[in-house]
Amino acid sequence: MESNQADGFFEWVYKIVRQIPYGRVSTYGAIARYLGSGGSARMVGWAMNASFKALPAVPAHRVVNRLGMLTGKAHFPGPNLMKELLENEGIKVINNQIQNFNIVFWDPMVELEGMQ
C-alpha cells in the first residue's frame, strides 16, 4: 500500500503534537509516555520525520528533546527554520536551546489530563 496514514503510532503522535498551543513546546519523551510507550521516545522523533507529509501540517518545531534543545532542527528544510518558527511564537531560542523551557513546556499528560 502507499502508506497513506501511519496505522498507529505516527498518526497518534501527530494528533498530540497538533494540540500543542501557540507559544508552547513539548518533548519527545512526554509524548511517548502519554502514548503509553515511554521507551519509544525515539519513535516520536521518527514520526516527526514523516510529519512533513502529514496533513494538516504538524508543528514539529514545537517538539524538542527533554533538555529543550532543537535537536531536530537539522532535519528542517532550513538550518534555522525551526529556531525562527519558535521565536516567531515568542519563544526564546539561544544556541539551539529554548530559554524558559520550564515555562513554555507543554505536557500532554498534564494539559490533556482527563481528556483521553
Interface positions with DNA (CB under 7 A) = 3, 6-10, 27-30, 32, 37, 39-46, 48-52, 60-61, 63, 65-69, 71-72, 74-76, 82, 97
Residue 108: beta bridge partners?
none
Nearer to DNA by Cβ, of 68 and 114: the residue is 68
Which H helix or E strand runs over 64? strand 63-64
CB of 65 to DNA, least distance (A): 3
Nearer to DNA by Cβ, of 92 and 114: the residue is 92
CB of 61 to DNA, least distance (A): 7
Q: How far apart are the first and last CA of the chain?
A: 30
Nearer to DNA by Cβ, of 79 and 114: the residue is 79
What sections of 3-62 are H helices per DSSP?
9-18, 28-34, 41-51
Q: Would you give the distance in Å from CA 105 to the centre of its chain?
A: 11
Q: Would you give the distance in Å from CA 37 to the centre of its chain?
A: 16
CB of 113 to DNA, least distance (A): 19
CB of 79 to DNA, least distance (A): 13
